Amino acid sequence: STMFLVGLSGGIASGKSTVVAVLRELGCAVIDADVIARQVVQPHSKAHQQILQHFGTEILLENGEINREALGNIIFSQPEKRQLLNSITHPEILKEMLKQVLNYFVLGYRYVILDIPLLFETRGLTRFMKYTVLVYCDPPTQLVRLMKRSGLGVAEAEARIRAQLPLDEKRKWATHVIDNSGDWESTRRQVLQLHARLEDSLHFLWARLAVGTAVAGLGGLVFLLIRHFIS
């Protein structure tokens, strides 16, 4: 069997969640890095304990979970704190993503979509993707959507957008672009076209694996893949 990876990203208020919803409706395998990021910092987890050691208990909610808004305010203005947090959470996120990728591989999926918000900012994972997809919308539309969604003023919304790599810059790196500047039907048509193209693709990232190796050496394979991704 063959399978390849597709990296999906966007920008704040560009409409990535809309595209993911259509992909899930089509039965695509989607791994959400944001969901995993929340899972790996649950109370009593390794990452949770390390975060408390470095950021203190003032970032906790009453139920013991991490207050993402409070933590976000800290790392937003302090790049060194952001790097520290990434060094704690990224290895745990990658481990869980690899587990899910292997699960979809065993189930025989044609391709797996990795929904990674900062895919183009970090650039580290793009080398493992056969294709990269950007959910794009024009800057004025992005600003209006963010203000409407979050209740922010113009200056605050513009600051949030500037904190990310511009969508026009990300567009240069993407192999496929879904323009979400228009209505829902237009976006849906583009997603359907992309899905059909991916289903017909003969390219793949993962090498063919012998059934005996996949069964007998699955544990060793997971270990090697984790080391390869993290290194």
d(CA 83, CA 104): 31
Return the H-helix or E-strand segment holding 24.
Answer: helix 16-25
pLDDT at 146 over 50: yes
* Position with higher pLDDT, 210 vs 192: 192
pLDDT confidence tier of residue 71, bands split at 50, 70 and 90: very high
d(CA 124, CA 2): 23
Q: What is the mean pLDDT of the chain?
A: 86
pLDDT at 109: 93
The predicted model scores a pTM of 0.80
Over residues 9-36, the pLDDT tens digits come to 999 999 999 999 999 999 999 999 999 9
Strands in 111-115's sheet, in edge-to-edge order, are 29-32, 111-115, 4-9, 131-136, 176-179
pLDDT at 225 over 60: no
